[in-house]
Amino acid sequence: TQLLEQSPQFLSIQEGENLTVYCNSSSVFSSLQWYRQEPGEGPVLLVTVVTGGEVKKLKRLTFQFGDARKDSSLHITAAQPGDTGLYLCAGGGQGAQKLVFGQGTRLTINP
């Protein structure tokens, strides 16, 4: 069974601070994805990383895939209240067919 462990599970910080969320596994993934979920909605894809060491940027969000393709991180610079939400990492195992999710990081940005 491929497991994804996210840390921290909860994070509450002030507007303007920086933060990093981690997604770790003992298994190698062909790709890792990050999603954001708002209350009452399904998750929405933020980014997919596929190459070991890959770094992708989405405005103030920076995503990195570990060299060994077992872990990933999400870094937010100068967090805004609009960044509040549940952030989920997901990985495709068994030929990327079986998509499993981490337990999520609930992020709260206080004005």
Partner 1 sequence: NAGVTQTPKFRILKIGQSMTLQCTQDMNHNYMYWYRQDPGMGLKLIYYSVGAGITDKGEVPNGYNVSRSTTEDFPLRLELAAPSQTSVYFCATNPWGTEAFFGQGTRLTVV
Contact residues for partner 1, defined by CB under 8 A: 1, 6, 30-31, 33, 35, 40-45, 48, 50, 88, 90, 92, 95-104, 106
CA dist 78 and 16 (Å) reads 4
CA-nearest of 81, 49, 44, 79 to 61 is 79
Closer residue to partner 1 (CB): 33 or 72: 33
CA dist 109 and 98 (Å) reads 33
Strands 44-49 and 32-37: antiparallel
Least distance (Å) between residue 90 CB and partner 1: 7
Least distance (Å) between residue 91 CB and partner 1: 10
Closer residue to partner 1 (CB): 31 or 77: 31
Closer residue to partner 1 (CB): 60 or 98: 98
Closer residue to partner 1 (CB): 35 or 70: 35
Least distance (Å) between residue 83 CB and partner 1: 18
CA dist 50 and 29 (Å) reads 8
Question: CB of 29 within 8 A of CB of 108?
Answer: no
